[in-house]
Amino acid sequence: MSKPVEFCTCTDRDCPFNPVNHDQGCTPCIAKNLKAGEIPSCFFNIVDPEGKADRGAYLRKDFARIVMEME
Ligand code: SF4
C-alpha cells in the first residue's frame, strides 16, 4: 500500500483521483491531467496560494497566464 500524499493541497476530496480516495499516490491525478491537457491543482496552489486568480479550466494555458500574472 502506498503512503498518503502528505503534500497534496488539492481540496476536491470528491474527485476520484484525489489521493485520499485510493492508494496510488499522484499517479491517477497526473494521468488524468496529462490526458486532458491540464495542470494539477497543487501547482496552481503554489503560484496562487490564496486562490485569487481565475483558474479557468485548469488548462496549461490557464496555469501559464497565472504564472505570468503572479510572478
Ligand atoms: S499531482 Fe495531484 S494528487 Fe499529486 S499532489 Fe498534485 S494535486 Fe495532489
Task: Give me the residue spans of the domains in the chain.
Answer: 19-70
What is the sign of the dihedral through the CA atoms of 16, 27, 44 and 67? negative
pLDDT band at 4 (very low <50, low <70, confident <90, very high): confident
Tell how far the Cα of 69 is from the centroid of ligand 1, in angstroms: 23
Task: Find cell 497526473 and name the residue.
Answer: 30
Res 70: pLDDT = 87
Res 1: pLDDT = 53
19 lines ligand 1 (CB under 6 A): yes
Reading the block at residue 4, the C-alpha cell is 498518503
42 lines ligand 1 (CB under 6 A): yes
Tell how far the Cα of 26 is from the centroid of ligand 1, in angstroms: 5
Res 2: pLDDT = 60
Task: Find cell 505570468 and name the residue.
Answer: 68
Measured CA to CA, the distance from residue 55 to residue 62 in angstroms comes to 6
**pTM confidence score:** 0.92
Q: pLDDT of 27-66, one tens digit each?
A: 999 999 999 999 999 999 999 999 999 999 999 999 999 9
